[in-house]
Chains A and B, each alone.
Chain A
Amino acid sequence: MTEAIRTEGLVKTFGRTRALDGLEMSVHTGEVHGFLGPNGAGKTTTIRILLGLTRADAGTAQLLGGNPWSDATALHRRLAYVPGDVTLWPNLTGGEVIDLLGRMRGGLDKQRRADLLERFDLDPRKKGRAYSKGNRQKVALIAALASDVELLVLDEPTSGLDPLMEEVFREAIRDEQRRGDRTVLLSSHILSEVEALCDRITIIRDGRAVETGSLADMRHLTRTSIRAELSAPADGLAALPGVHHLHAEDGKVSFDVDTEALDSALRQLTAVGVRSLVSQPPTLEELFLRLYDRKGEAAPRGSGAGAEVAR
């Protein structure tokens, strides 16, 4: 499997702030890769390094087989970028900006441009200063999606879009997915969006990757929550390793269970007799919150987070 993006030990400091602290990341060619993290985690800094706008202090980054800093111009022919906060030239119309950016990238699919304008319901004749935030975002999105490129780098692209347009965006990304040859790096903190679109995910915190893999992989690393109505009290449950937050009341139990202990916990339940059972895989949101919950626990840098992934 080839890699569209690979970073190793990426470090970037701004004054005393360490924005990136040894970031490891790998995006496979042809996948939609979610890049998750709260504000200030280092997502935008990473993207700016990948685009050659900022130089890393240490570590290496590879983009489409080249060096993002020294081969910037050549690489940029093969990618399109949508910033999180799009500003447009006040005296150029949206249509002009779409065409200009497309041409400077090396070409625009006219048919696709018209199609996207219609789907996103954008009036291309307005001047840049007259667009709302959501409409400015659409201009940049259409410019990127209508370009014939191998890699789309999207930095929180849906901020400011309404739910209808958000759905249009998801549809457009699914189209890309079906084509199969385009790689998408989607930075976001909208978890449902990432959950709906992404093949694999990297979660970063304080400038380091704390989790990476498919959503299924990640779920595997965490707990399923179980609620059940039982015929009799389930005495052995509390003693089982891997069972957490157990509440038992009037023949109802609820608990979270580690994936490796799921089988033994269910055996325990069926042994008692199950009347009803609800099992819920952890949502990405829960995963995310749990990862960030640990922040206060002073997880040892280096070993702690890494071990979590390797477990």
Chain B
Amino acid sequence: MNELVGTGRLVRLILRRDRVLMPLWVVWIAIIPIGYVASINGLFPTAAGRQTYADESAHNAGFVALYGRLFGSSLGELVAWRAGFIPVAIGLFTILTVIRHTRMEEETGRRELLGATVVGRYAGLAAAVLTTCVANLVLGALVALGLMSQDLPAAGSWALGLEFAAAGWMFAALAAVVAQLTASARSARSIAIVVLAATYVLRLAGDISAIGSGAVSWLSWLSPIGWVQRIRPYGGDRWWPLALAVGVTAVLVWVAVALSARRDVGSGLLASRPGPASAGAGLRSPLALAWRLHRGLLLGWAVGFALLGIVFGGVAKSVGDMAQDNQTFADIVARVGGTAGVIDSDLAGSIGILGLIAAAYAIQATLKLRDEETSGHAEPVLSTATGRLRWAAGHLLFTFLGPAVALLASGLAMGITYGSTAHDVGGQVPRLVAGAMAQLPAVWVLAAIAVLLFGTLPRLSPVGWGALAACLLLFLVGGAVRLDQWVMDISPYTHLPHLPGGEVTATPLVVLTAVAAALAVVGLAGLRRRDMPTP
């Protein structure tokens, strides 16, 4: 057990360093399902109402894609189903936390400093995984207790809480493995997030197949997110998927330990290759540097968006088919303007989700500026004949145009996949590309908020994520809780046209773009005036 000496102290160090961040995400995520209880109760006070809603939702491909499959109509089941996206959010925060306390520590050399004290070989890894797993358990307990306080059955509440915790455990162990592979924390984060996205897409493809032909429904079984959802809280409370999750966690932790024993501190298993001895002719401006720093990110987001576009586009047709099979559903369909109307509103909903995700990219690209200045990378550049605005402009080009590229990719992919099922590629591509691009003004507003913070209150730059979280919260629960319109109006996304199918007026798009431009200009003016931080 010598290898684990000092784990306790390292756990305390992690808790000290994350004393704000960790409680924040744990509580924030735990509140969401508790909020669903009130909102679903408010919308469907009777069992009959819930039954109708469940019947429609269980076969709605868009909903199944987003949340997973629905098998019952009790309040608890609806809450658990609505919370189907939460394991992904948990996975994301878990991955970021584990990488931050393992590979990041090694890359910055802090691990070396600690490693020379009385700290066992695996103590760092153990502390990071242990702390994150306990955080996930606390999250699960909060969810369970919160739902029980809303008079939901105890067994089901604990099942849902443990479903979340188990998802967190598996991704914590996964991140621990990935942290052994590469020398840079950035690559490790990217790899882990790609795996997370892949598990989501597998779950989504399998579940959608299950409500249709069922040909590839087994895909859900390749996804850890798919497994934990098979616990079916409130609808059977099956515990064996939990055992599966615990087993996978144990195996992954074992793999991480074995890999870590095989390498030196600071190195990764994937070796880094030598590069060019001198710079290519093009690498001569801040813009060229920004391209080098952003191109991987841009490619990743564009590919991710294209994949989501393929999925959303592929699903849309089956929504229309369902409308024809199901009488109750068909009546609703007739009211919203026929089958075409249902498909359009489904596509518009998908595009709305893409718009929110695109803002995450925009904020990430903006925060790269902050990263560059705090890491000391900006200082040598700014001590050349490069002014601050030119330096920032290189990065901001990706902030504002990067999401445009990603949305374009998803619009094209949706247009081609949906167009080919509807035998109308030529007609659908322009409609869906236009619909995706119409999200840009709202994306730009969120990006500009991040620029404003970076320029005027640089220490608060990460609060830009808070703005996105608020918009996401309004999007997810706003309609269900029937918030007042003025609250909904805070989110720039509320003002966007619902495309395809909706009406388009230029005013909101122009106003949002103008607001974004104004915020960004104020941010840049602040950047010109303020001190650059000491790295």
Contacts and interface: CB of A to CB of B under 8 A. Distances in A.
Tell me what chain A mostly uses at the interface: helix, strand, loop, or mixed.
mixed
Contacts of A106: 384-385
A140 B238 CA distance: 61
B381 interface: yes
Given A100-B283, A125-B277, A55 B375 contact: no
A73 B387 contact: yes
Contacts, number: 124
A54 B533 CA distance: 8
B326 interface: no
Contact of B532 (A54, A76, A125, A153): A54
A53 B272 contact: no
Given A53-B383, A73-B387, A104-B284, A93 B531 contact: no
A99 B387 contact: no
Interface in A262-295: none
Contact-residue size bin, chain A (C-beta under 8 Å from the other chain) = 35 or more
A96 B529 CA distance: 31
B376 A83 contact: yes
Contact of B383 (A51, A55, A125): A51
Given A85-B376, A96-B275, A77 B383 contact: no
Interface residues of B, number: 38
Contacts of A105: 384-385
B532 A92 contact: no
A72 B387 contact: yes
Contact of A79 (B377, B380, B383): B383
A107 to B, nearest CB: 10
Given A124-B277, A124-B278, A48 B283 contact: no
B262 interface: no
A99 B186 contact: no
A93 B386 contact: no
Contacts of B280: 96
Interface string A117-131: 000000111110110
A35 interface: no
B380 A101 contact: yes
B183, B184, B284, B383 pick with most chain A CB within 10 angstroms: B383
Contacts of B186: 90
A21 B456 CA distance: 26
A247 interface: no
Interface string B379-399: 111111111000000000000
Contact of A127 (B275, B277, B278, B284): B275
Nearest to A106: B385
Given A103-B279, A106-B385, A127-B272, 5 more contacts: A76-B382, A90-B186, A105-B385, A130-B272, A140-B380
Interface of A: 44, 48, 51-55, 72-74, 76-77, 79-81, 83, 85-93, 95-96, 98-101, 103-106, 123-127, 129-130, 140, 143, 153
Interface of B: 107, 183-184, 186, 272, 274-280, 283-286, 288-289, 292-293, 296, 375-377, 379-387, 529, 531-532, 534-535
22 contacts: A48-B534, A53-B379, A53-B531, A54-B532, A73-B386, A76-B384, A83-B376, A85-B535, A89-B289, A92-B275, A93-B276, A95-B275, A96-B279, A98-B279, A100-B283, A103-B279, A104-B285, A106-B384, A124-B277, A127-B275, A129-B183, A129-B272
